[in-house]
Amino acid sequence: MQQGKIWDADVAQRYDTPGHGMFAPEVLGPTVDRLAELAGEGAALEFAIGTGRVAVPLAERGVSVTGIELSRPMVEQLRTKADEATIPVVIGDMATTVVPGTYSLVYLVYNTISNLLTQAEQVACFRNAARHLEPGGRFVIELWVPELRKLPPGQTATVWQSEPGYIGLDTYDVLRQHVVSHHIRFDETEQAQLFRSPHRYIWPAELDLMAQLAGFELETRHADWGGAAFTAESRSHVSVYRMPQTS
């Protein structure tokens, strides 16, 4: 499954769920609040900007936001909300694409770094973030913690959400550190809709090593955007890495 083919026009048109899921105010609000705080008076660059779920409200808060996005259909959806002058976007891979200028903040949310399917690409993503940051700038990553503790011997799948009309499950390839997320939506008829996306999962310690290779230092890690403590039971984390200040 190639990422460029996964995020096609059909997915882009169905991606936004205003007021629900990742677009729910209790999810999106703290995300935007924290990113606005970290950006301060500087500009922000979003890797994998998508349809502008975070970028649009962040720009409305007065932060200058630029994006990188692989999928043209996702950008077309973004353009229904904000024009190029308001939120410039460069089409390309977040691991290698370079955009003009420097930024006080680069951010990569909602597990998207795992869309890069090799360790080398993920390290390159950190280096690309460092390339765009001014001294003292920050790279923020939101990422889930692999749920391998839930896998009994011989089992390769976990159900992480089950509710009326929807089942979400992950299948693991622990040898390659890969996981495929399956999103199954159905109604009262016999029809069901399946969307799958491949990922390379990353443990927090491995993420920190990637950051060190790119010249970052871990500044903070919390369990969510509101600042809850990160513990052994946390299912995800928001990690803030910082470039050194020049002397």
pLDDT tens-place string over residues 184-209: 989 888 889 888 889 999 999 999 99
What single-letter DSSP state applies at residue 20? S
Q: With H, G, I as helix, E, B as strand and everything else as coil, classify residue 131.
A: helix
Q: In this structure, how many other beta carbons lie within 10 angstroms of the beta carbon of residue 58?
A: 25
Q: What is the pLDDT along the chain (247 residues), one digit of tens a residue?
A: 555 567 667 777 777 677 877 888 899 999 999 999 999 999 999 999 999 999 999 999 999 999 999 999 999 999 999 999 999 999 999 999 999 999 999 999 999 999 999 999 999 999 999 999 999 999 999 999 998 888 888 888 889 889 898 999 999 999 999 999 999 989 888 889 888 889 999 999 999 999 999 999 999 999 999 999 999 999 999 999 999 987 5
Instruction: Specify the pTM.
Output: 0.91
State which amino acid sits at residue 172. Y
Where are the domain boundaries for CATH 3.40.50.150 in the chain?
3-146+202-242
What single-letter DSSP state applies at residue 229? B
- Among residues 93, 105, 130, 91, the alpha carbon closest in space to that of 38 is found at 105
| 96-133 burial: b if 16+ Cβ within 10 Å, else e | eeebeeebbbbbbbbbbbbbbbeeebbbbbbebbbebb
Contact assessment for residue 96 and residue 65, using Cβ atoms and an 8 Å cutoff: no
The radius of gyration computed from the CA coordinates of the chain, to the nearest angstrom, equals 18
pLDDT tens-place string over residues 139-161: 999 999 998 888 888 888 889 88
Measured in Å, how far apart are the chain's first and last C-alpha atoms?
46
Architecture of domain 3-146+202-242 in CATH? 3-Layer(aba) Sandwich (3.40)
